[in-house]
Amino acid sequence: MESDRRNAGRETAVVEAEHSLVTLPWYVVHVRSRHEFVVHDELERKNIRAFLPSFKRTSQWKDRKKEIDHPLFPGYVFVQVPDRPGSFLEVLKTRGVVVFVTLAPGMPTPVATEEIDSLRLMVGTCGELDVYPHLKEGMRVRVKSGPLENAEGILWKKENEYRFAINVELLGRSVAVRIAPDDIEAA
């Protein structure tokens, strides 16, 4: 039941990404090991918008198989901090949150809105995802047709297949999906 509630929240997040009127920046919080779903649910209970990209993986035990949600970026949750006094502190006081991700000491570093929107679209529409550490090479492209239309990312080739990757610079990670070269154009 709780898994259904999480999935419904994630599906709603995809719809919100497509029609988002909210312009608040997104940040990344580092969370305790295996606390991603707990942090996501706690933030949502506090009416703080959170995004936890995840995928299902089948786990096998001796007596059964079960599909289990796994975070796409283990140890991290995206959060949109409300524009009210004390909001950053409220996020930090959430059970399981360790620290905001920053590039320099001081204020947390926001994630580009385009990266979050493209990531939400990819997670909501694509079945099989691959995660890669720090994808830097390749051409910046935009998807011109298909379910990822208007998403921006990087094109690269792996084993004679083209991949479209969305890079989350702040985390040093990328998410990739197979794509036909006809579906993309230079950004």
Same domain, 129 and 78: no
User: What's the CATH number where 130 sits?
Assistant: 2.30.30.30
79 is in which domain, residue-wise? 2-100
For the stretch 62-101, pLDDT in tens is 898 888 888 989 999 999 998 889 999 999 999 999 999 9
More confident residue, 183 or 176: 176
Same domain, 81 and 147: no
C-alpha span between 128 and 175 (Å, rounded): 10
For the stretch 9-36, pLDDT in tens is 444 444 454 444 458 999 999 999 999 9
Same domain, 130 and 165: yes
> What does the CA dihedral 13, 17, 113, 123 come to, rounded to 10 degrees?
60
According to the model, what pLDDT value does residue 182 have?
67
According to the model, what pLDDT value does residue 75 have?
94
- pTM comes to 0.69
Structural domains in the chain (count)? 2
Averaged pLDDT score across all residues of the chain: 83
- Most confident by average pLDDT, 65-74, 75-84, 146-155, 162-171: 75-84
Q: Where are the beta strands (DSSP E) in the chain?
A: 26-31, 49-51, 54-60, 65-71, 76-80, 97-100, 130-133, 139-143, 152-158, 161-168, 173-178, 184-186
Report helix, strand or coil for 39: helix
Q: How far is CA 23 from CA 17, 43, 78, 83, 162, in A?
A: 11, 18, 15, 10, 33
Cβ neighbourhood burial of 51 (10 Å; 0-12, 13-18, 19+): buried
